[in-house]
Amino acid sequence: MQDERIAKMTEMLLGGGKMLSVHCGTCKGPLFEFKGKVICPVCGERTEAAKAEAKPKAAPTEKVEGILSAKLNVLATQLEKETDHVKTLELLDRIKSILEVLEKLKER
Ligand SMILES: [Zn+2]
């Protein structure tokens, strides 16, 4: 396992990659800059640290989508338990609003 890591790092360096002072959030190994991308030789391109370093402004809508999805789950659970007709309609209205926002986010 350790040897495999070193082999991959060496391969990346020989291919023109540059070792960065940033470490991978998954395996704690050093990240490399290779062909304009930040890559972990062990985990591949998609590491949390690489995302944060390479594209700081890339994910705000993803974050909003995550929060809204979590809210939808909470509302759906409430809706399931709700027996009061008026409150059920209120919940449905809130769910509808969230779904509308999610739709708009997808249009972008
Ligand atoms: Zn890694």
* In a shared domain, residues 47 and 64: no
Around ion ligand 1, residues with a beta carbon closer than 5 Å are 24, 26-27, 40, 42-43
pLDDT tens per residue, the chain (108 residues)?
A: 578 888 888 988 998 999 998 888 888 888 999 888 888 888 886 544 445 555 555 567 788 888 999 999 999 999 999 999 999 999 999 999 999 988 988 876
Strand order in the sheet with 37-39: 18-23, 30-34, 37-39
Query: Cα–Cα distance between 58 and 74 in angstroms, integer?
Result: 27
> Tell me, what's the pLDDT at 50?
46
What distance in angstroms lies between residue 61's CA and the mean position of ligand 1's atoms?
Answer: 25
Residue 10 CA to its chain's centroid (Å): 29
Note down the domain range covering 99.
60-107
Domain count, the chain: 2
96 and 66 housed in the same domain: yes
**42 and 82 together in one domain:** no
pLDDT of residue 46: 57
**Ligand 1 centroid distance, CA of 86 (Å):** 51
Structure tokens at 21: 């002072």
d(CA 26, CA 48): 8
pLDDT, residue 34, reads 86
Q: What is the pLDDT of residue 59?
A: 63
pTM of the model: 0.44
Q: Give the domain-ending residue among 54, 75, 96.
A: 54
